[in-house]
Amino acid sequence: MSVRINNLTISYDHRPAVHHLDMLINQGDWLAIVGPNGAGKSTLLNALAGVVTEYEGDIEGLYPESIAYLPQQSQLDKSFPITVYDLVSTGLWNELGFSRGLNANQHNKCEEALEAVGLHGFENRLIGSLSSGQLQRSLFARVLIQDQHIILLDEPFNAIDTKTLIDLTSIIKKWHENNRTVIMVTHDLDYVREHCPKSLLLARECIDFGVTKSVLTEKNLRHARALSEAFDTHAVWCAG
Amino acid sequence: MYDFLISPFIEYGFMRRALVGGFAMCLGAVPVGIFMTLRRMSLTGDAMAHAILPGVAIAYLISGLSLFGLTVGGVLAGLLVVALAGWVARSSHLKEDTSLAAFYLISLALGVLVISLQQSNVDLFHVLFGNILALNNAALSLLASISTISLIVMAVLYRPLVIECVDSTFLRRAGKSSAIAHYGFLFLMVINLVSGFHALGTLMAIGTLVLPATAARFWAQSLDFIMFIASTFAILGCYVGLLLSFHFDLPSGPAIVISMGIICILSILIGENGGLLRNRFQSRHLTG
């Protein structure tokens, strides 16, 4: 199932953070959203995830219950007393809801997910006692459990060591091989060049979108940097 | 020993009622208090407790010291302030704590004004400081009902509340359950504060929610164990407070809150999990 974005504008206080964006994301794409700070990357991802719901234009082919979303760690309350196992199993919310318990099958799924991210034996650790790499691994385990066709990752490799990065990348590669759609926001251009087949270069508006090699050119990147991050205080209402 | 610890409750009916009412209030309020402190909403709770006052005061003007009137007035005022503050916070740039503070100041002032219309200081005292020693049958059943409803609703909301605390965007994407958990929780805060109001008065109703929950975090790490410890502390505080109040002729509400407060301070000092003194004198570590 592909995702089509038509003339999408997301504004804060009438100032566009994402401006007139059109794009088609095919089922099975591994897409990186890159761009300078303040380019609207996370805003776009939040709109795709259904966290931001007020925007102009439309997004077709996305349903909140068919998306697994990996938030930035700063959005979590790490001091809350919850174990790694419980955090991971919250990925089953759509199946379990308010009250159902985990069946044997679902227990196995959790165990397998923890095994896959290399956190076997961490089940009963509180998330507050984890390193940021370990916490990121457990969030990936939760995405694994959610088992969705579309996976959104918000800066998944911030403050992560090389070993963790390699392990988690191999998980993303498996998703890609299984024809799941992976959309990630990142600042790491080298990573994008090496791994992500497609990119969107964003600087509030779309600078370029397509095959990574043709998007991340020096010219495009300069263009993106040149577009001012500051608001134009004399901006008039946009006619588009 | 027996005379000191047990006989007051055997010999005097009002002490027995106070004990039972206090226990009921504690059992309902403690789980709510734990989530309240974990969500950093202690001050929100405090604001809400004050916001109940004008509702109670108006009810008092209309119906006097009637249990039903005061309860309905308190719950309505609490819910109204919660709804208004939540609405203002969600649809303007004000943070929720700021808008609550604004609403609670207004309603506190309003409450005191309304009460002062009536001349009797005894009643003002009753409203501000509660009267756990004068619980009649109806008041006891009210406390027990609130406690029961609170525990049941808490059990239903437990899972989404935990998820909402850890990762607030996770549920917000998945439909209505996040809003149900949020407003359901605020409702629980209001009814438990009203229950606390009958026993301890509007000013100290928040005590049962905050103090045992804070103390328990210094003894336990997992949520279920925190709940168990906090309930035990709350019940202990209630019992000790009533004893002190009986033997030394102290007002019962403050005695209960002080007892819980002492448990809380001791826990902060010597608690197994991060107690200040313990950290100071034990700097040992494991091999790996």
DSSP string, chain A: --EEEEEEEEEETTEEEEEEEEEEE-TT-EEEEE-STTSSHHHHHHHHHTS----EEEEES--GGGEEEE--GGGB-TTS--BHHHHHHGGGHHHHTTTPPP-HHHHHHHHHHHHHTT-TT-TTSBGGGS-HHHHHHHHHHHHHHH--SEEEEESTTTT--HHHHHHHHHHHHHHHHTT-EEEEE-S-HHHHHHH-SEEEEEESEEEEEEEHHHHS-HHHHHHHHHS-SS--TTPPPP--
* B156/A contact by beta carbon, under 8 A: yes
| B133 contact partners, CB below 8 Å, separation of at least 6 | B14, B15, B18, B245, B252
CA distance B60 to chain A (A): 39
* Residue A81 sits at the chain B interface (C-beta within 8 Å): yes
Cα–Cα dist B78/B100, whole Å: 11
CB contact under 8 A, A71 and B226: no
- Residues of chain B in contact with residue A67, where contact means CB-CB under 8 angstroms, are 173
pLDDT above 70: residue A229: no
Neighbour-count burial of A142, counting CB atoms closer than 10 A to its CB (0-12 exposed, 13-18 middle, 19+ buried): buried
Which residues of chain B have a CB within 8 Å of the CB of A100? Answer: none
pLDDT at residue A128, as a whole number? 92
- How many residues does the structure list for chain B? 288
Alpha-carbon span A54 to A60, nearest angstrom: 15
Q: What is the pLDDT of residue B90?
A: 67
Residue B44: CA atoms inside 13 Å, Cβ hemisphere, count? 24
Share of chain A above pLDDT 70, in %: 97
CB contact under 8 A, A75 and B168: yes
Q: Are A202 and A192 in contact (CB under 8 A)?
A: no
pLDDT for the residue B171: 83
A50 and B CB contact within 8 Å: yes
Backbone angles phi and psi of A191, in degrees to 5: -60, -45
CA atoms of B231 and B147, how far apart (whole Å): 13
For residues B39 and B41, what is the distance between their CA atoms, to the nearest angstrom? 5
Interchain CB distance below 8 Å, B162 and A98: no
Chain B interface includes A28 (CB < 8 A): no
Q: What is the ipTM of this complex?
A: 0.86
CA dist., res. A37 & res. A52, Å (int): 19
Residue A136 burial by Cβ neighbours in a 10 Å radius (0-12, 13-18, 19+): buried
Contacts of B79 (CB under 8 A, 6+ apart): B187, B190
Query: From the list A75, A93, A97, which residue is nearest B169 (CB)?
Result: A75
* pLDDT number for residue B283: 67
Nearest chain A Cα distance for residue B16, angstroms:
36
The predicted pLDDT at position B119 comes to 65
A53 has a pLDDT exceeding 90 = no
- H or E stretch including B249? none
Average pLDDT over residues A154-164: 89
Contact B163 A49 (CB under 8 A): no
Residue A138: its pLDDT value, please?
Answer: 95
Residue position matching structure tokens 């203002």 = B88
pLDDT of residue A33: 95
- The pLDDT value recorded for residue A230 is 58
Q: Is the CB of B222 less than 8 angstroms away from the CB of A126?
A: yes
Of residues A160 and B264, more confidently modeled: B264
A49 touches chain B (CB under 8 A): yes
What is residue B121's predicted lDDT score, i.e. its pLDDT? Answer: 64
Distances (CA, A) of B239 to B16, B81, B135, B142, B217: 10, 33, 16, 20, 21
Collect the ranges in chain B with pLDDT lower than 70. Answer: 89-90, 96, 119-124, 174, 282-283
> Residue B92: closest CA among chain A residues belongs to which residue?
A13
